[in-house]
Amino acid sequence: MQVAAVLVALWTAVAGCAAEPADQARPAAPRSAPVPVRPAVVEPDLAALPEATTFTEIPQAPVDQAADQPASGVLLRIKRDTAVHSAPGGAPFAKLPPVQLGNPTWVPVVEQQGEWARVLLPSRPNGSTGWVWTGSGAEVEKARSPYLVDVDIDARRLRVFRDGAQVGGWTVGVGAEESPTPRGRTYIMAAIEETVTNFSPVILPLGTHSNTYTTYGGGPGTVALHTWPDPAVFGQASSDGCVRVPQEALQFLATLPLGTLVLLR
């Protein structure tokens, strides 16, 4: 929920008008400390904000400054259109919808300041972030994923960690030299059962995009984790930017919570 703090101080002074005789005068009672007034919540004009989705580009979004680092594992479920700010308490520049590609919107928290959470966004440019209010009245749900997906692009190796311990590892295919897999910190945005093509039964779109192509077959150029019918691609740099994984790996990755952090490095 987008909030802006407006501090309102209200003071009321009441004075008595009946004087006492001098010999009965009493010292004035000490003045009570002012009671802090809770900041008022000001709703942003959500209708005027562009949506941060895999189909959009939000050039004014702050860039992730720790793109090669893991995070705490805290996730936010966006339960209704929610404003995204440039800084804690800063101006809103976009909104996150509650659904992405037919899946509930879960985004990873990469920084926390009080009741403000900095999250990764699914929109272009890659590495986009923004701040979301998580305090009282916010339509968000917090959870935690114990998993981290680490993709070493040069070594063509994908590993999965649970609470720091490796629980899976596979040789994978990555982007070709002319269409490299983008590097940086992203996340599992959705899980889609493939009904149009047969190269992968499930596709796991990530919150990042090809830097070479603006579209894949008419889509927005979203990079994904998926399998491939020819196992010869594993260990090779031959894709259009997606990470091709063995069937066993895909089955495991499909069980991870949406919003789970993925390091492409």
Q: Catalytic annotation on 85?
A: no
Distance, in Å, from the CA atom of 174 to the CA atom of 235, rounded to the nearest integer, reads 8
Instruction: Look up residue 97 and give its two tokens.
Output: 């919808």
Mean pLDDT (the chain) is 87
* pLDDT tens by residue, 25-80: 434 444 444 443 334 446 689 999 999 999 999 999 999 999 999 999 999 999 99
pLDDT surpasses 90 at 10 = no
Of 17, 85, 209, 242, the active-site residue reads: 242
| Between 213 and 12, residue with greater pLDDT | 213
Residue 170's DSSP bridge partners are 158
pLDDT above 90: percentage of residues in the chain: 80
pTM for the predicted model, two decimal places: 0.83
Contact by Cβ (8 Å): 99, 79: no
| Res 233: pLDDT | 98
Q: How many CA atoms does the CB half-sphere of 73 hold within 13 Å?
A: 12
* pLDDT tens by residue, 125-141: 999 999 999 999 999 99
- Residue 194: which pLDDT band, with cuts at 50, 70 and 90? confident
Domains in the chain with CATH codes: 48-144 (no CATH), 147-264 (2.40.440.10)
pLDDT surpasses 80 at 241 = yes
Q: Catalytic annotation on 209?
A: no
pLDDT above 70: percentage of residues in the chain: 84
| Res 42: pLDDT | 61
- Residue 117: which pLDDT band, with cuts at 50, 70 and 90? very high
pLDDT surpasses 80 at 177 = yes
Average of pLDDT values for 92-106?
98
Per-residue DSSP letters for the chain? ----EE------------PPPGGG--PPPPPPPPPPPPPEE----GGGSPB-STT-B-TTSPBPS-TTS----EEEEE-S-EEEESSTT--EEEEE-SEETTEE-EEEEEEEETTEEEEE-SSBSTTBEEEEE-STT--EEEEE--EEEEEETTTTEEEEEETTEEEEEEE-BEE-TTSPPPPEEEEB---EE--S-SS-SEEEEEEEE-SS-S-STTS--EEEEE--S-GGGTT-EEESSPEE--HHHHHHHTTSPTT-EEEE-
Lowest-pLDDT choice from 35-44, 53-62, 177-186, 202-211: 35-44
- Residue 181: which pLDDT band, with cuts at 50, 70 and 90? very high
Contact by Cβ (8 Å): 249, 256: no
